[in-house]
Structure 1
Amino acid sequence: MMQRLKVAARRVAIAGMALGVVCTTQAATVPDVVDASEQWLDQQAQSQRRVDDLGDQRRSLADEYRTTLREIEGLEAYNQQLQRQLKLQRDEIATLDNSISQATAVDRQILPLMLQMVDSLKQFVSLDLPFLPKERAERIEFVTQAIDRVDVSVAEKFRQVLEAYQVELEFGRTIEAYTGMVDVSGQKLEVDFLRVGRLGLFYQTLDGLQSARWDQASKQWVALPASERNPIRDAIRVARKLTSPNLLTLTLPTAG
């Protein structure tokens, strides 16, 4: 572009010479005109460069503006998503607070119930046949301590209470034999106990010579005749799974 301007200026200078444009007081020679033309061309070139620079700056600013707009749109979308998440979290917190308040109310109600259940179980065991006294007492004590512990959840406490009830329930549907000690006339004897559900509790000395049945009415052992030795011995073998199940002929207490 500068080259075209310079050529045009030279043509203007030559045309001026041909027409005899001469000023008497401020006469300009050809070199002066050429210099003036070149200065003008340089100024035009500088102006054009400034225009180009401004154009580049404008395009750069426009790109930055569009980028900023996209970032703003992205931030607005992200902010809306965060607002939705915060609302969901607030709703969930409100639900949890409501559940906690309800659970607290249930805890206050269920704790007395569990204590009452344990007391009832303790009373039931004390009135029941005296089989496995240590094991049953330890189970009740374990449940009682669990209820008092703060590091055990209410659900776990209630589960343990129900499990203790379940164990006691199973005693009424099973037959069991185990070895233990019994006080006979002030003498400690090691015997085999036989429990038939909750219908009868027997013992037989290890030598098989003495047998007895627990009398619930009198709360004491009643000696059995020698004719009961073999049936009790056979029942003990069945309870220990040493022989196949068979018909048991035991003398059971009658309802008084």
Structure 2
Amino acid sequence: MKNQRLKAVALSTVLSAGALMGSVAQADQTLDAILKVGQTKTTVAQESQKRIDRLAQETDDLVQQFKHQNRLIADLRMYNSQLEKQVAAQTQVLQELEGSVDQVTVIERQIQPLIVRMLDGLEQFVKLDKPFRLSERNERLEMLRANQDRADISVSEKFRQVLEAYKIESEYGRFLDTYNDTLSIDGQDREVSVLQVGRLALIYQTSDANTAGVWDATQNQWVSLDGSYRTAILKGFRIARKQVSLDTIVVPVQAPEAAR
């Protein structure tokens, strides 16, 4: 009997231990499941936070892009406004230029006949003036005449050239000058030196210094000078050639006609 009770107790203990072990195993499984659920929730929460952070960054980027685009639009509006002002100003300038072109056209039509009259007057002046540097002066007149028919020279340039010719003619009257020339003396062509005293006197002297003459405007020809002027003429040539300093010289000057 005693042995039977011991067996019963032992069996009961074994069964209890087995049940307990089964409960512990089940509890472990439940705990594992709970831990897995918690870990899953944590992972999901982390992923959600990442998505939230990413969406927040994208939203911030979009906001910044929107602000940037707004600034660009404002700048473009300001630029367009400035361009409109510039276009308006340029349009005004073009209108003024068109008016100026019309005025220039009218002025050119008026200047062209004036140039021709000025050339006619200059040519007549050279013919009536003392015959100094005639080749040079006549060539200048021929060049100016030829330029009037050239389309590649503007009217303003043609006018400037004529004014320059007038200036050169004016300067002739203020200088003491000398040059070599060929003159017809007593029916023979002679190589001479010419002394130009402004427009007061025009004197020639042969290379041997034995013959001298002066232009007589009243007779419109050269007339001989006697030997009394020889020293003065030589001195004049030396001054003109800058061989000596400026000094007073005596030259034959035609007296003006008495007033009637």
Q: TM-score range by the shorter chain?
A: 0.7 to 0.9
1:126 matches 2:123: no
Distance of 2:94 and 2:245 partners within structure 1: 61
Between the aligned residues of both structures, percent identity stands at 40
**How is 1:33-182 mapped onto 2 (pairs within 5 angstroms)?**
59-182=60-183
Extract unaligned runs of 5+ from structure 2: 1-38
- CA separation of 1:221 and 1:45: change in aligned 2, threshold 3 A: closer
- CA separation of 1:190 and 1:44: change in aligned 2, threshold 3 A: closer
Secondary structure at the residue paired with 1:176?
A: strand
1:186 positional shift: 2.7
Greater radius of gyration (CA): 2
**CA RMSD of superposed structures (Å):** 3.1
Secondary structure at the residue paired with 2:213?
A: strand
Hey, what does 1:222 align to over in structure 2? 223
- CA separation of 1:174 and 1:55: change in aligned 2, threshold 3 A: closer
- Normalising by the residue count of structure 1, what TM-score does the alignment of the two structures yield? 0.74
Secondary structure at the residue paired with 2:156?
A: helix
Task: Write the deviation string for residues 147-187 of structure 1: whole angstroms up to 9, x where unpaired.
Answer: 43333333332222122111111122222221111112331
- Normalising by the residue count of structure 2, what TM-score does the alignment of the two structures yield? 0.73
Counterpart residue type for residue 72 of structure 2: E
Paired residues, what number?
228
Secondary structure at the residue paired with 1:142?
A: helix
1:57 positional shift: 5.9
Counterpart residue type for residue 203 of structure 1: Y
Distance of 1:209 and 1:65 partners within structure 2: 105
1:121 positional shift: 0.5
Secondary structure at the residue paired with 1:204?
A: strand
Extract unaligned runs of 5+ from structure 1: 1-37
Counterpart residue type for residue 152 of structure 2: D
- CA separation of 1:57 and 1:255: change in aligned 2, threshold 3 A: closer
Distance of 1:144 and 1:70 partners within structure 2: 67
Secondary structure at the residue paired with 1:148?
A: coil
Secondary structure at the residue paired with 2:101?
A: helix
Distance of 2:56 and 2:223 partners within structure 1: 119
1:206 positional shift: 0.7
Hey, what does 1:197 align to over in structure 2? 198
Secondary structure at the residue paired with 2:244?
A: coil
- CA separation of 1:142 and 1:39: change in aligned 2, threshold 3 A: same
- CA separation of 1:51 and 1:217: change in aligned 2, threshold 3 A: same
Hey, what does 1:232 align to over in structure 2? 233
**How is 1:9-24 mapped onto 2 (pairs within 5 angstroms)?**
none
Secondary structure at the residue paired with 2:180?
A: strand
Distance of 1:173 and 1:100 partners within structure 2: 40
1:229 positional shift: 2.4
> Which one is further off, 95-104 or 124-133?
95-104
Distance of 2:49 and 2:234 partners within structure 1: 123
- CA separation of 1:47 and 1:168: change in aligned 2, threshold 3 A: closer
1:245 positional shift: 2.6
